[in-house]
Amino acid sequence: MDKLESKMGRILFVLLSIFMISTPFPCLSDEMPPKVILAHADRSRGNIGGIEWIIDLESREGNELHKRKILVKARENNSLAEFIAPPKVKGQKILMLDRNMWFIKPGLRKPVPISPRQKLMGGASNGDIASTDYAGDYKTELVTEEVFRGEPCHVLGLNAASKNTTYSRIRYWVSKKRLVGVKADFLTISGKLLKSAVFEYDHRIPFEDASIPFISRMIITDEVVKKTVTTLVYTQVKLKNIPDAAFNLNLLRR
């Protein structure tokens, strides 16, 4: 009888082990509302108190290659992008403040209001180089769950809450484990696909006594002009106290 009980115990242990291995444990993000998931993802794309980085922007359009180097200073959803190379664009700035955007250029008498949706270079729009505030800019719903590159993701449907957004609609894949956006489809109001992007997070930054991923690369593929691929590489990421003066339009125009 003891041998039988021992054998049954071993079988039960094996079956329980198989069940535990094959049954995924729920992620903490499974209990989060879509808006909270989105807010977490925004932090890893610049929506955090006081941070700066360099973007090496490169666009290949057929046989043509275009490059820009941009210094971005951000504090939550406000950001200032200053072009530092090549020489022909050096000193130009793009300010995004409270969802409004201006272009500032040496020699111009006053800043020029621009739209985040305007093309910057290649497949990149003006709003793509600013800090991301999808949680504030879009109405959000959980559409489904999918696996992207081996990673379980929440798939969120984003619809613009105003006209001052970079895109009208976004389908956004957010890693369930890491809470970062790993893929995005950018759509027209009618649902037509304009372009897609994938995101990489090789940087880490301190946040609230923890360490969170921070974006290192964004690759945009244009669905209209098929041969256009635009890459944004993020380097020299550092937390920094960004003063109010950095976002003061009157001071920047001098």
8 Å CB contact between 96 and 127? yes
Between 254 and 237, residue with greater pLDDT: 237
pLDDT in tens, 75-91: 998 999 999 999 999 99
All structural domains of the chain: 28-252 (2.50.20.10)
pLDDT at 65 over 70: yes
Contact 66, 121 (CB under 8 A): yes
**CB–CB of 169/158 below 8 Å?**
yes
- Residue among 84, 127, 116 at smallest CA distance from 218: 127
Q: How far is CA 4 from CA 1, 9, 18, 205, 226, in A?
A: 5, 8, 21, 56, 67
Please give the model's pTM, rounded to 2 decimal places. 0.87
DSSP 57-78: EEEEETTEEEEEEEEEEEETTE
Residue-averaged pLDDT of the chain:
89
Token output for 226 = 């098929």
> Closest by alpha carbon to 195, among 123, 131, 121, 115?
123
To the nearest whole percent, how much of the chain has pLDDT over 70? 89
